[in-house]
Structure 1
Amino acid sequence: MSKPTTDAPADPSAGAASFPQRWRAFRAGIAHRPTLNFGYRIAVGVVGGLVLLVGIITIPYPGPGWALVFAGFGILATEFVWAHHTLTWVRGKYRTVMDWYIARGWPLRIFGAVATFALVLATLWLLGTFSLMAGWIGVDWPWLRSPLMS
């Protein structure tokens, strides 16, 4: 008797490990070497710390401030339990604050937008951006000069 055949094509990915499985295997290989493991944890700490620091600095400005904070904690949480706990806590607090902020209605949202705009303008002035751009077009107004960049 002949062997029965099926009409379904063979799954080409059958037997292939998924990315998370390959990553766990890679990480387990590093974990078995103490020196390499220590270096890997330092690298994760440095990269995660830098992303977190940039995120904290950019929170008040339009852009990816909070996303970078969460990304930094996410990177750190891959290796450090304290970062995982902190990430969970920060996410909860962020959601609580944003729910409160949205529940206050349009007056507070408008105030928040105006305050953010004022903070960005003040930062640009302090960094000397306005006097730099004014110099490009030949304007020399004293009030455009930054007290920090004189």
Structure 2
Amino acid sequence: MATAEDSRTGGQEGTDDSPGWLDRVRATPAGRLTLRIVIGVIGTALVVTGLIMVPFPGPGWLVVFAGLAVLATEFPWASRLLEFAKDRVRAATDWLKRQNWFVRIVASALTLLCAAAIVWVSVRLTLGVDLVQKARELLS
């Protein structure tokens, strides 16, 4: 049965000290630079895409964190930023868990209200459609 170690070593069993493909790429200056550029482009694209998605319903922050995780494989600053962001999210989540049900409901309502306002403004500015007016027309 193939393991993760086998895939890194090219399937050679019993060669624990043989380098994986990333180590072989990093062994040359051109390989290191190419890898950093590719990781930088992919990670940055994920972070930017995630930030664009943040105001809309969906996995915006998840994509931002995924992009930071990709960047953190090559860049120490991204690793520090990812840890800082994870700590802030944990702190906010822990704080919200300690609150009573009323505070949780108010926080959820404010979050939904902000998301709805962002979607309304975005649709109005990009498509020229007023969703509130359309809803009123459908209801009357």
TM-based fold match above 0.5: yes
The aligned runs of 1:23-62 (5 Å cut-off) are 25-62=20-57
Match of 1:64 among 51, 59, 66: 59
Structure 2: 5+ residue stretches without partners = 11-18
Match of 2:78 among 70, 80, 83: 83
Note closer, same or farther for the CA distance 1:111–1:133 as it changes in structure 2 (3 Å cut): closer
Q: How many residues end up aligned between the 2 structures?
A: 126
Question: 1:59·1:65 contact (CA, 8 Å) conserved in 2?
Answer: yes
Moved segments of 4+, more than 4 Å: none
AA in 2 matched with 1:18:
D
Question: 1:44·1:79 contact (CA, 8 Å) conserved in 2?
Answer: yes
Question: 1:60·1:116 contact (CA, 8 Å) conserved in 2?
Answer: no
- Find the structure with the greater CA-based Rg: 1
Aligned equivalent of 1:131: 129
Note closer, same or farther for the CA distance 1:62–1:105 as it changes in structure 2 (3 Å cut): farther
The 10-residue stretch of structure 1 (75-84 or 56-65) with the greater mean CA deviation from structure 2: 56-65
User: Comparing both structures, which one devotes a greater share of its residues to helix?
Assistant: 2
Aligned equivalent of 1:18: 6
Match of 1:118 among 91, 107, 113: 113
Question: 1:52·1:68 contact (CA, 8 Å) conserved in 2?
Answer: yes
1:100, CA displacement in angstroms?
A: 0.4
Question: 1:61·1:120 contact (CA, 8 Å) conserved in 2?
Answer: yes
1:71, CA displacement in angstroms?
A: 0.9
Q: Structure 1 vs Structure 2: percent identity of aligned residues? A: 29
TM-score with structure 1 setting the length: 0.66
TM-score with structure 2 setting the length: 0.69
Structure 1: 5+ residue stretches without partners = 1-11, 140-150
